[in-house]
Amino acid sequence: MFKLCGFQFLLVIQWAMCQNLGDLSLAGPLKDMNFSIPEGAGVRPIYQFISETPVIFRATGEKDGIIDIVPKTGMLYLNGSLDRETKAVHRLQVECLDENGDVVKGPYSVTIYVEDINDNPPKFDQTTYTGVVRQNSRAGKPFMYVHATDPDDPTTPHAQLTYSILHHFPNPYSDMLFQIDSTTGAISPSRTGSFYLDPQKQNTFTLVVAVKDMAGMTTNAFTSSTDVIINVKESLWKAPPTIYIQENSTETHPVNISQVHSNEADVIYELFEKEGLARFPFSIDRNGVIYVTEPLDREKKDSYLFYAVTKDSVGELVDKPLQIKVIVKDINDNPPVCENALTVFEVQENEGGGSTIGTLHATDMDEKDTLNSRLKFSIESQVPAVPSSNMFIVQQDTGTLQLMSSSLNKQTAANYSLKVMVTDADFQTICEVQVHVIDINDQIPIFEKSDYHNVTVAESIPVGTVILEIQATDTDEPDTGSSHIIYQVEEGDPNHKFIIETDPETNRGFVKINKALDFETDKVHNLVINATNPEPLVSGVQYNASSRTLFKVFVTNMDEPPTFQQPVYTANVSEDIPVNTLIVKAEAYDPEGDTVRYSLEGDVKKWLKIDSSTGNIYTASALDREYKELYKVDIVATETKNAAQRSKIPLILHLKDVNDNPPQLVTDYPTFFCYPVRGGEKALIQATDVDGHVYVPRITFSLGDDMETKKNWEISKVNGTYAHLSPKHGNFEEKVYIVPVIIKDSGNPSLENKVNLEVNVCQCSSEKSCYIKLQHENSKPSVGQAIGILLGVLLVIGAIIGGVFFHMKYKQKNEKKSQQKDAKDQTECVELNQ
Ligand SMILES: *[C@@H]1O[C@H](CO)[C@@H](O)[C@H](O)[C@H]1NC(C)=O
Ligand SMILES: *[C@@H]1O[C@H](CO)[C@@H](O)[C@H](O)[C@H]1NC(C)=O
Ligand SMILES: *[C@@H]1O[C@H](CO)[C@@H](O)[C@H](O)[C@H]1NC(C)=O
Ligand SMILES: *[C@@H]1O[C@H](CO)[C@@H](O)[C@H](O)[C@H]1NC(C)=O
Ligand SMILES: *[C@@H]1O[C@H](CO)[C@@H](O)[C@H](O)[C@H]1NC(C)=O
Ligand SMILES: *[C@@H]1O[C@H](CO)[C@@H](O)[C@H](O)[C@H]1NC(C)=O
Ligand SMILES: *[C@@H]1O[C@H](CO)[C@@H](O)[C@H](O)[C@H]1NC(C)=O
Ligand SMILES: *[C@@H]1O[C@H](CO)[C@@H](O)[C@H](O)[C@H]1NC(C)=O
Ligand SMILES: *[C@@H]1O[C@H](CO)[C@@H](O)[C@H](O)[C@H]1NC(C)=O
Ligand SMILES: *[C@@H]1O[C@H](CO)[C@@H](O)[C@H](O)[C@H]1NC(C)=O
């Protein structure tokens, strides 16, 4: 006979199962059975096998000195604690023998599955880790890993590890420079790190990395930590300095022009450009060597800007793009070019030596302001060479042609052909020039009329319209610069609203609108127009009043519609704004100064009204954000005298949500603490608010202010929607406590809600289950008695049936109450007969 003491006659119930476990008994006939028992549970009965005829029970198999059966009673029991990490499943055979030791029933297989509890802390593989990271490494790209193991059951949260960075030395910025992947332990630079890491400033960092089991979910998880030393190295990924390539190169292409190096191995180098070139003459190879693939032409494109990138095997960018700048260096590979195939100048017969005839223009495509494009002019030949062979001279650096002496004579030569040589450093080009000797300009243009009176035009007249034709005549040699006429507005048009074009055949002038007219600024333009020749007049002759004429332009007004001060009006109003509130002042004016009347269009809900004379818009009825958050109507402005002149612009009303819902506690899972309570444990509670998102993130939690609550509990904020509830001491009974919690949103005004939170203090088998004390023999568990926790966790292990323990009064005569040394554990002793 022996005695098992310290049984906790408690019924273990798991929340998820309690409903369909109603008829599960703890004694029954011998048959194949499976049990699931939490490890470390201690001495306890498991199940009683019952036989109608007296038999002796025998268990064989993996008893491991812990599991056995009482031969007479068939009580299967544990004589010690199971350890899942040692053995997760115990397979036994149980049979019934008669007095002679012959098997009369069985063997049956009885399997005991050891349920994991979180009894092992996670452990890092190394006590310290060292890693190297390069400056400018990509944020989130791991450069090292830490790893920890936990011997607990890998299918439960007990061995689900989460990593985090506890400390970061030094920590010079508000955000950490490194981050860790909570599940893989991968350490990578953060965004801040990717940007700010710099070995010149700080080349070593120490991180304290923590690992926590229970998937990081509850506060009674185990934690370990390790040191991670990180060395920062300079980035290899640097843009090369500007690359200079000489154009029109005769080297064999492609030519290596630079090389870039990624900080990471096995990357794919690529180039891309953003200029949209038809042909991109650069390439990069697998080692990052950049080539120019063909000779460049500076005259087509004198610089290139492109980017080198690195990609990983799935095409993700590894490094930030590097900007590569290439400048194409000029060589003198372009000859000078004459601006015109033939340049014609005119010179009056009487002009004197040194007078300027004109300037010959030539260009060179090579780089401006270098010797490659510096041009020099010289006269090669002059035909005819009469009266002398050097009638003209060209200025070497400007190409300006001048008359050498005053010996021109139309009778001798009316026409000279010159070949002017234009040279750069290497090339020369001949430009053809003709010089026509023309009659002297001794006649001025004379207008047919000295006054063209007036014309009346609407201010809306299109630009380019001809409003007047004018005519002057010049009796100098026809078709020369002495008789051609240029008309200009000499007075009355400071803003160049008019322009005059000349027909070269007839010298007729056309006055056109050059810019839009505006009645409101200029109702009349008094123009003075002059007529001149391109050739200068001979000395002694001057333009006089006959080369001028007058002209008036009257501008008439067009009735224009009113104009609003703004292209659109917007207003943000709360949906609960009272009727008759002024929300917007619309303002329009009429360019002609007429008074304006206002009205609204499209106010389908009749929410608004407008003061027709002031443009003030008021609410006319209750607004409702739930009908429409953005309500659009049109504001119309109409001229009082001419209702056809109207303008319309939108008014957009932005309706703001009003806080009309108090926050609520989320009670999807029960709140509990394991008995006995130590004080200081934390349970997470959550609240929500159905109002617009503006109010959600800031809910404040507080406790009801009765003495009892204040004495027992405290609440602390986690974030906008979560808080921790903690018992303040260890003196709690095993029962359901009602804790009044006040939750308040951040609306203005804010709304609050007082909720009676049920908090269970209960015996726990592990973090995922509670025991409830059974008051009476054979009483069945009800939902009300059961306390569940963390539904999500339960679902994981939902398939495993938890062990069920009954208060066993099967041997009344042998039962004897005894006092246990740990009084609050309320234990009892049972005598078992061997
Ligand atoms: C015990 O569990 C095993 C494996 O899950 C199963 O195959 C067997 O049918 C179960 N036996 C009983 C009696 O439930
Ligand atoms: C329980 O185990 C102890 C030693 O661990 C042993 O002395 C005792 O006999 C065992 N009792 C039973 C009933 O198996
Ligand atoms: C390419 O040129 C760069 C310098 O421009 C040089 O550093 C690199 O070694 C060259 N690479 C090869 C493969 O020639
Ligand atoms: C290259 O230079 C030669 C003379 O040096 C010239 O004839 C040729 O047009 C040039 N090519 C380009 C593309 O500029
Ligand atoms: C210039 O001379 C050529 C003949 O040398 C003649 O054909 C042409 O008409 C002349 N031009 C003028 C404007 O005199
Ligand atoms: C405009 O010109 C007409 C003649 O073309 C003349 O009769 C009239 O008086 C002029 N009007 C003004 C305002 O000068
Ligand atoms: C003709 O008018 C233009 C433009 O105002 C002015 O520059 C020029 O000097 C005038 N010519 C004469 C000869 O008055
Ligand atoms: C302007 O000069 C011409 C001669 O060049 C002369 O015929 C005309 O009368 C003059 N006009 C005035 C208004 O002086
Ligand atoms: C209305 O609110 C929106 C955002 O809610 C803001 O962008 C806009 O500037 C506000 N308009 C006015 C007139 O206050
Ligand atoms: C608030 O805290 C809870 C629990 O720690 C977490 O699950 C949730 O994501 C947090 N919410 C925000 C907005 O940070």
Ligand 10: nearest atom to the Cα of 721: 1
Q: Is the peptide bond before 749 cis (omega within 30 degrees of 0)?
A: yes
- Cβ of residue 2 lying under 6 Å from some atom of ligand 2: yes
Query: In terms of domains, do 101 and 10 share one?
Result: yes
* 789 domain residue, yes or no: no
620: its two tokens: 């006319």
**pLDDT grade for 397, boundaries at 50, 70 and 90:** very high
Q: What pairs with residue 609 in β-bridges?
A: 618
* Inter-residue contact 361 to 292 (CB < 8 Å): no
Residue ID of nearest Cα to ligand 1 atom 1: 34
pLDDT band of 516, cuts 50, 70, 90: very high
- Higher pLDDT, residue 155 or 625: 155
Instruction: State whether residue 327 is helix, strand or coil.
Output: strand
Kindly state the tokens that stand for 53: 């005829």
- Does the pLDDT of residue 803 top 90, yes or no? no
pLDDT > 70: what percent of the chain? Answer: 87
**Tokens for 639?**
């001229």
Ligand 6 atom nearest to CA at 552: 14
Euclidean distance between CA atoms 466 and 654, whole angstroms: 51
Residue nearest to atom 8 of ligand 3 (CA): 259
Residue 767 lies in a domain: no
Pocket probe for ligand 9: among 566, 569, 572, 693, the residue whose CB has the most ligand atoms within 8 Å is 572
Q: With a 6 A CB cut-off, is 297 part of the ligand 4 pocket?
A: yes
Q: Do 182 and 218 reside in the same domain of the chain? A: yes
User: CA–CA separation, 151 vs 159, rounded Å?
Assistant: 7
Residue 6: what residue type? G
Distance CA 435, CA 414 (A): 8
Assess if residue 403 is contained within a domain. Answer: yes
Q: Are residues 25 and 80 in the same domain?
A: yes
Q: Is the dihedral of CA 621, 625, 628, 629 positive or negative?
A: positive
Q: How far is CA 220 from CA 40, 212, 678, in A?
A: 17, 10, 12
> Residue 697's pLDDT is what?
60
> Vertex 143, ends 141 and 145: CA angle to 5°?
110
Residue type, 108: Y
For residues 165 and 193, is the Cβ–Cβ distance under 8 A?
Answer: no
Strand ranges of the sheet holding 466-473, from the earlier edge strand across to the other edge: 446-447, 466-473, 508-513, 498-502
Clarify whether residues 728 and 747 are in a common domain: yes
Residue 381 Cα to ligand 5 middle (Å): 17
779 compared with 241, residue with greater pLDDT:
241
Find the helix or strand (DSSP H, E) in which 572 lies. Answer: strand 569-574
52-74 confidence digits (pLDDT tens): 888 999 999 999 999 999 998 99
Of 541, 556, 571, which one is at a domain's C-terminal end?
Answer: 556
- Cis, peptide link before residue 54, omega less than 30° from 0: no
Q: Are residues 132 and 204 in the same domain?
A: yes
Query: What b/e sequence results for 40-49 when a residue is b if at least 16 CB atoms lie within 10 Å of its CB, and e otherwise?
Result: bbeebbbbbb
Residue 38 lies in a domain: yes
First to last CA, the chain: 4
Residue 625: its pLDDT value, please? 79
Where does ligand 9 bind, in terms of residues with CB under 6 Å?
Answer: 570-572, 654
Q: Give the closest residue (by CA) to ligand 10 atom 4.
A: 722
- Residue of 415, 418, 483 to mutate, ligand 5, most atoms within 8 A of C-beta: 415
Distance of CA 602 to the CA centre of its chain: 37
Give, for ligand 2, the residue of 44, 79, 81 to mutate: max count of ligand atoms closer than 8 Å to Cβ: 79
The pLDDT score that the predictor gives to residue 156 is 86
688 and 735 both lie in a single domain? yes
In 3-state terms the chain splits into helix, strand, coil percentages (rounded to 5) of 5, 45, 50
pLDDT at 428: 95
Band the pLDDT of 699: cuts 50, 70, 90: confident
Q: Whose CA is nearest to atom 4 of ligand 1?
A: 34
Binning pLDDT at 50, 70 and 90, where does residue 51 land?
A: confident
Give me the mean pLDDT over the 479-508 stretch.
Answer: 96
Q: Which atom of ligand 8 lies nearest, measured to the CA of 544?
A: 1
**Residues linked to residue 550 through DSSP beta bridges, in sequence order:** 451, 528
Q: pLDDT tens-digit profile of 235-280?
A: 999 999 999 999 999 999 999 999 999 988 889 999 999 888 999 9
Tokens of 455: 């014309």
Q: Which ligand is nearest to the CA of 416?
A: 5
Least confident window among 78-92, 742-756, 765-779: 765-779
CATH of the domain at 35: 2.60.40.60
CB distance 414 to ligand 5 below 6 Å: yes
Q: What is the mean pLDDT of residues 614-628?
A: 88
Which residue carries 């190409």 as its tokens? 399
Compare 390 and 406 and report the one with higher pLDDT: 390
Give me ligand 2 centre to Cα 79, in Å: 6
**pLDDT for 810:** 29
Q: How many domains does the chain have?
A: 7
* Mean pLDDT of all residues in 669-695: 78
Burial bucket for residue 705 (CB in 10 Å: 0-12, 13-18, 19+): exposed
Atom 13 of ligand 6: nearest residue by CA position = 454
Output the residue whose Cα is nearest ligand 2's atom 8. Answer: 79
Q: Residue 768 pLDDT > 90, yes or no?
A: no
Q: How many whole angstroms from 444 Cα to the centroid of ligand 8? A: 9
- Mean pLDDT to the nearest integer, 13-42: 64
Q: 601 C-alpha vs ligand 9 centroid, how far in Å?
A: 23
Compute the distance between CA of residue 787 and CA of residue 744 in angstroms, rounded to an integer. 28
Q: Mean of the pLDDT values across residues 176-190?
A: 94
Return the pLDDT at 583: 93
145 with 221, same domain: the answer is yes
Ligand 3, pocket residues at CB < 6 Å: 256, 258-259, 289
CA–CA separation, 703 and 743 (whole Å): 9
Q: Do 549 and 568 lie in a common domain? A: no
Decide which of 731, 762, 793 is a domain's last residue.
762
- Residue 228 structural domain: 123-233
- Whether residue 211 sits in one domain with residue 288: no
Ligand nearest to the CA of 722: 10
The CA 634 to ligand 6 mean position distance, Å, reads 47
Question: What are the residues whose beta carbons fall under 8 Å from the beta carbon of 799, sequence distance 6 or more?
Answer: none
Instruction: Give the atom of ligand 5 at the shortest distance from the alpha carbon of 417.
Output: 5
Which atom number of ligand 1 is nearest to the Cα of residue 113? 2
| Ligand 2, atom 2, residue with closest C-alpha | 79
CA of 453, closest atom in ligand 6: 2
Cα(635)–Cα(805) distance, integer angstroms = 79
Smallest CA-to-CA distance from 551 within 493, 595, 482 is with: 493
Q: What is the pLDDT of residues 427-438, one digit of tens each?
A: 999 999 999 999
**Nearest ligand (C-alpha, residue 630):** 9
- Please give the structure tokens belonging to residue 694: 């503006």
Look at residue 818 in the predicted model and tell me its pLDDT: 34
Examine the pLDDT at 21 and tell me if it is beyond 90: no
Residue 804 is assigned to a structural domain of this protein:
no
Region 21-27 average pLDDT? 51
Which residue's CA lies nearest to atom 14 of ligand 9? 572
Do residues 186 and 133 touch, judged by C-beta distance below 8 A?
no
- Within a domain: residue 773? no
Ligand 2 probe mutation, 1, 2, 76, 829, most atoms within 8 A of CB: 2
Average pLDDT over residues 416-432: 96
Query: 34, 37, 800: which to mutate for ligand 1, most atoms within 8 A of CB?
Result: 34
Whether 363 and 266 map to the same domain: the answer is no
Gap from CA of 803 to ligand 1 centroid (Å): 15
Closest residue by Cα to atom 8, ligand 1, is 34
Residue identifier of the C-alpha nearest atom 2 of ligand 3: 258
The answer to whether the beta carbons of residues 356 and 398 sit under 8 Å apart is no
643 alpha carbon – ligand 7 mean position (Å):
48
Instruction: Evaluate the CA torsion angle 730, 733, 736, 740 in order and state its sign.
Output: negative
Considering only CA atoms, which residue is closest to atom 6 of ligand 9? 572
The answer to whether position 583 is within a domain reads yes
Return the ligand number nearest the Cα of 656: 9
Residues 6+ apart with CB under 8 A from 486: 502, 531, 532, 533, 534
- The H or E element containing residue 712 is helix 707-712
> Is 86 part of any domain?
yes
pLDDT computed for residue 530 by the predictor: 97
Pocket lining for ligand 8, CB < 6 angstroms = 444, 544-546
- 437 versus 830: the higher-pLDDT residue is 437
Answer yes or no: are the C-beta atoms of 628 and 636 closer than 8 Å: no
Residues within a 6 A CB radius of ligand 1: 32-34, 111
Residue 296: the pLDDT is 96
Query: Residue 364 Cα, ligand 10 centroid: separation in angstroms?
Result: 70
Ligand 9, atom 2, lies closest to the CA of 572
Phi and psi angles of residue 159, each rounded to the nearest 5 degrees, phi first: -115, 15
Question: How far, in Å, CA of 54 to CA of 191, rounded?
Answer: 76
Percent of the chain scoring above 90 in pLDDT: 60
* Whether residue 488 is found in the same domain as residue 429: no
Residue 68 Cβ contacting ligand 2 at under 6 Å:
yes
Q: Would the CB of 333 count as within 6 Å of ligand 4?
A: yes
Candidate of 217, 682, 719, 746 to mutate for ligand 10, largest count of ligand atoms within 8 Å of Cβ: 719
Q: Does 537 share its domain with 567? A: no
State whether the beta carbon of 123 lies less than 6 angstroms from ligand 5: no
Query: How many whole angstroms from 392 Cα to the centroid of ligand 5?
Result: 18
Ligand 6 centre to CA of 90 (Å) is 123
Q: Which residue has the higher pLDDT, 780 or 314?
A: 314
CA angle 809, 814, 819 (to 5 degrees): 85
Q: What is the pLDDT of residues 605-620, one digit of tens each?
A: 999 999 999 999 999 9
Angle, CA 296 vertex, CA 292 and CA 300 arms, to 5°: 140
Assess whether pLDDT exceeds 70 at residue 762: yes
Q: Is the pLDDT of residue 8 over 70?
A: no
Pick from 744, 762, 780: which residue ends a domain? 762
Q: What is the Å distance from ligand 8's center to 546 Cα? A: 6
